[in-house]
Amino acid sequence: MKISRALEIKDDGSLNQAGTTGRLDDHLYMYHMPYSYTAEQIRKLRTHLFHMQDKPVPRIIMITSALPGEGKSLIASNLAIAIAKGDDQHVLLVECDLRKPSLNNLFKYAPSKGVSEIIQGSAQIEDCLIKTPINKLTILPAGKEAPPNPSELLESKRMSSLIEELSQRYTDRFLIIDTSPIQATVDPKIIADQVEAIVMVTRYRYTKESDFKMALDNLPKDKIVGTVLNALDELPAKKYKYRKYNYHKYY
- At residue 241, the pLDDT reads 44
SS3 229: strand
| Residue 78 domain flag | yes
Domain assignment of residue 38, given as a range: 16-232
| Residue 135 domain flag | yes
Task: Look at phi and psi of residue 150 and say left if phi exceeds 0, alpha if psi is from -120 to 50, else beta.
Answer: alpha
What is the distance between the alpha carbons of residues 200 and 38, in angstroms, rounded to a whole number? Answer: 17
| Residue 134 domain flag | yes
The whole-model pTM stands at 0.86
| Residue 184 domain flag | yes
| Residue 196 domain flag | yes
Summarize the confidence of residues 144-161 as an average pLDDT: 92
Which helix (DSSP H) or strand (DSSP E) does residue 30 occupy?
helix 29-32
| Residue 86 domain flag | yes
**How do residues 56-106 score in pLDDT, each as one tens digit?**
999 999 999 999 999 999 999 999 999 999 888 999 999 999 999 999 999
Summarize the confidence of residues 177-190 as an average pLDDT: 91
| Best CA proximity match to 78, nearest among 101, 103, 57 | 103
**Higher pLDDT, residue 9 or 90:** 90
- At residue 237, the pLDDT reads 39
What's 26's domain CATH number? 3.40.50.300
- At residue 240, the pLDDT reads 42
**How do residues 192-218 score in pLDDT, each as one tens digit?**
999 999 999 998 888 888 888 998 999
Q: Provide the residue type at 13 as one letter.
A: G
- At residue 133, the pLDDT reads 96
Summarize the confidence of residues 105-128 as an average pLDDT: 95
| Residue 199 domain flag | yes
Q: What's the chain's average pLDDT? A: 86
Give the count of domains, the chain.
1
Within 88-205, residue ranges assigned H as helices are: 103-107, 115-120, 150-154, 157-169, 187-192
Q: Provide the residue type at 230 as one letter.
A: N
- At residue 184, the pLDDT reads 83
How many CB atoms are located within 10 Å of the residue 100 CB? Answer: 18
- At residue 233, the pLDDT reads 61
Tell me: pLDDT of 235 over 50.
no
